[in-house]
Structure 1
Amino acid sequence: MTKILLSLHVLAAILAVGPVTVAASMFPAALRRTTGDRDGARTTLQTLHRICRVYAGIGIAVPVFGFATASSLGVLGDAWLITSIVLTAAAAGILILLILPGQDRALTDTAAPAETPAPAAAHRLAMATGVFNLLWATVTVLMIIRPGSTTGA
């Protein structure tokens, strides 16, 4: 059962978190391009935002399968897992509190005919997305190395 749970956890991470990290990373650059091709860029922004929203919802499967896997492995109290949980919660918080609302605001700003999105909005989104991606990369490394495991360094 542990192997099945672990497989589901990894698949959920790849299929849910992967698209969010890519789409969120592409959004600031697409936002910067809205001044040249407003309609085309806005369609791209809407698509990227929808990918982020939908896959963020699907992403709840990652910690669900993660907790089930950790429980079956008996590692719920291990420091590397607790650190991973905290970093995952921080990444989720950045996505929910900064990235998705920032994308919403950017879409609202680009909807107004006279409005041009401020470069600061694209910079803030790029920074938040970079931190989000760095947190996920750190969690991935912790999951692979698992300090103290037989596969760890």
Structure 2
Amino acid sequence: MTKFFLVLHVLAAVVAVGPVTVAASMFPKALRHAHSGPGDGEALTTLRTLHRICRVYAAVGIAVPVFGFATASSLGVLGSAWLIASILLTAGAAGLLALLILPAQEGALAAAETSGSDPGSPGRLAMLTGVFNLLWATVTVLMIIRPGSTTGV
């Protein structure tokens, strides 16, 4: 059962976190493009699509910690420092996405659609997304290296 949970955990991470990471990273550049040509329907469609990818896959991403906890429980590592650190970093990344990145994308998209409103800072959004991506990269490293593990790595 452990291998089954691990496979689901890794698949959920790849399928859910990957698209959010890429779409969120592309959003600031697409936002700059939309601001350079107000009323550009194609640019607005790109922004809407990237934001929708982020929203939908963020919701799907809830499966990652669910299967992660199932895997950790079956491995008996719930109290391991590397796992606790990963949980905290994951919670931070999820909070950053839900509380700052997605609302900033929504605000920027609304401003771009009304053209004339202050669109917010693409630079700030890029910075938040970079921190989000860095948190996920750190979690990935912790999951692979697992300090103190007996896998010989």
TM range, normalised to the smaller chain?
A: over 0.9
Q: Secondary structure at the match of 1:151?
A: coil
**Matched residue count:** 151
CA RMSD of aligned residues (A): 1.2
- Sequence identity, in percent? 73
Counterpart in the other structure of 1:141: 141
Distance in 1 between the 2:118 and 2:106 partners?
15
Q: Give the letter for the 1:16 counterpart.
A: A
Which deviations, in whole Å up to 9, do the C-alpha atoms of 1:62-108 show, x marking residues without a partner? 00000000000000000000000000000000000110000000011
TM-score between both structures, scaled by the size of structure 2: 0.95
Q: Indicate the SS of the match to 1:4.
A: helix
Query: Retained in 2: the 8 A contact 1:145–1:152?
Result: no
Structure 1 counterpart of 2:69: 67
Distance 1:16 1:112 in 2: 31
Match for 1:56 among 58, 64, 84? Answer: 58
Structure 1, unpaired ranges of 5+: none
Q: Which amino acid aligns with 1:6?
A: L
Q: Report if the CA contact (8 A) 1:146-1:152 is conserved.
A: no
CA drift at 1:39? 1.4
Are the counterparts in 2 of residues 9 and 61 from structure 1 also a CA contact under 8 Å?
Answer: yes
Q: Give 5+ residue unaligned stretches, structure 2.
A: none
8 Å Cα contact 2:107-2:119 kept in structure 1: no
After TM superposition, the score normalised by the length of structure 1 is 0.95
Give the equivalent residue in structure 2 for 1:132: 132
Aligned ranges for residues 1-153 of structure 1 at < 5 Å?
1-34=1-34, 35-36=36-37, 38-115=40-117, 117-118=119-120, 121-151=121-151, 153=153
Contact kept, 8 Å, 2:17 with 2:58, in 1: the verdict is: yes
Query: For residues 100 and 7 of structure 1, do their structure 2 counterparts lie closer, same or farther at Cα, with a shift above 3 Å needed?
Result: same
- The 1-side partners of 2:115 and 2:151 are apart by 56
Deviations 1:7-57 (A, max 9, x none): 000000000000000000000000000122621111000000000000000
Task: Note if contact 1:42-1:110 (Cα within 8 Å) is conserved in structure 2.
Answer: yes
Deviation at 1:150, TM superposition (A): 2.3
